[in-house]
Amino acid sequence: MTEEMNEILRTIKQQKPFVLTITNYFPMGYVASGIRSIGGFPIMCSAEEEVEELLRISKAVVINLGKLDNPFVKLSNAICKLANKMNIPIILDPVGAGASRYRTDIATHLINKHQISIIRGYPNEIASLLTGELVIQGNNHLQEDKLIVENARSLSTKHNLAVVVSGKRHIVVDSAQMGQFNFDSAMVQKVAGIGNLLSAIISVFNSVVKDPFLAAKNATHFYAECVGPISSSASGPASLIIGIIDNIYINATKAQLFT
């Protein structure tokens, strides 16, 4: 791991940031454990009545659109509006953008109406956010690397944010910079919620590093260091996700021991 990454991890340990987390139900335990393992504190919220109080103690917000309905949309808009007012970074995981008109419209509405700090999604989701068109799920492999980078960079430039594209390679871009990390495998693709966990780790980094690109790049690099070694040795998807969370804790603790 780089010294820059280690310094960020030490800052996380010192600041112990709270992260307001609006996520899908099934990976909620993974997300919360990942945030705790790196040194942050997750706050799960589903009630609009407590949003303002929770934002007062939060240093970042991560919104995952996996479970989408009208109350969720109302909650997300309320959170984004207040977070922007309070200068709290928002990480958006646009799950399913491109699969349905409802999901696509909600995701594009959020990035058009509010200032998002970082978007983390798959190539078809990023393409859909850029064009507003439906893009069939599962066609990620049909997009050439050059087109994936171009779409991510165009989305970044259009909305002044950083973009993390998950896939065979994980690409981090803003309008002028790019980083690439490779930790994909057939086993990794079997774990539902593994992208949600990355979005959560990015949110913790962004809570202490205000530059969206630097936060996203270092978080994705850190995640690659946690996923890569275990992806080739895990006996199955269940042991893989547990091993990733273990590695998040082990790698963060190693960096944080040296202050």
pTM here? 0.95
Q: DSSP letter for 139, please.
A: -
Q: What's the confidence (pLDDT) of residue 98?
A: 94
pLDDT band at 9 (very low <50, low <70, confident <90, very high): very high
Among 29-43, 83-97, 184-198, 219-233, the least confident range: 184-198
Give the max Cα distance, the chain: 49
Task: Work out the average pLDDT over 14-23.
Answer: 96
Task: Work out the average pLDDT over 44-67.
Answer: 95
- Residue 162 has a CB neighbour count (10 Å cut-off) of 28
What is the Cα–Cα distance from 22 to 239, expressed in whole angstroms?
Answer: 25
In percent, the amount of the chain with pLDDT more than 90 equals: 81
Q: Which residue has the tokens 């970082």?
A: 118
161, 152, 101: which is closest to 130 by C-alpha?
A: 152
Architecture category of domain 3-255 in CATH:
3-Layer(aba) Sandwich (3.40)
pLDDT band at 259 (very low <50, low <70, confident <90, very high): low
118 forms bridges with which residues in the sheet?
91, 162
* Alpha-carbon dihedral angle through residues 224, 226, 232, 237, given to the nearest 10 degrees: -110
Spell out the alpha helix ranges (H) of the chain. 3-15, 28-38, 51-56, 70-85, 101-113, 123-131, 145-159, 194-208, 212-231, 237-256
Q: What's the confidence (pLDDT) of residue 139?
A: 46
Q: DSSP letter for 140, please.
A: G
Task: Work out the average pLDDT over 95-107.
Answer: 96
97 forms bridges with which residues in the sheet?
100
Order across the sheet with 162-165: list the strands. Answer: 41-44, 18-22, 58-64, 90-93, 118-121, 162-165, 170-173, 178-181
Q: What's the confidence (pLDDT) of residue 118?
A: 98
Q: What's the confidence (pLDDT) of residue 231?
A: 87
Where does residue 235 rank: exposed (0-12), middle (13-18), buried (19+ CB within 10 A)? exposed
Mean pLDDT of the chain: 93
What is the Cα–Cα distance from 233 to 135, expressed in whole angstroms?
Answer: 34
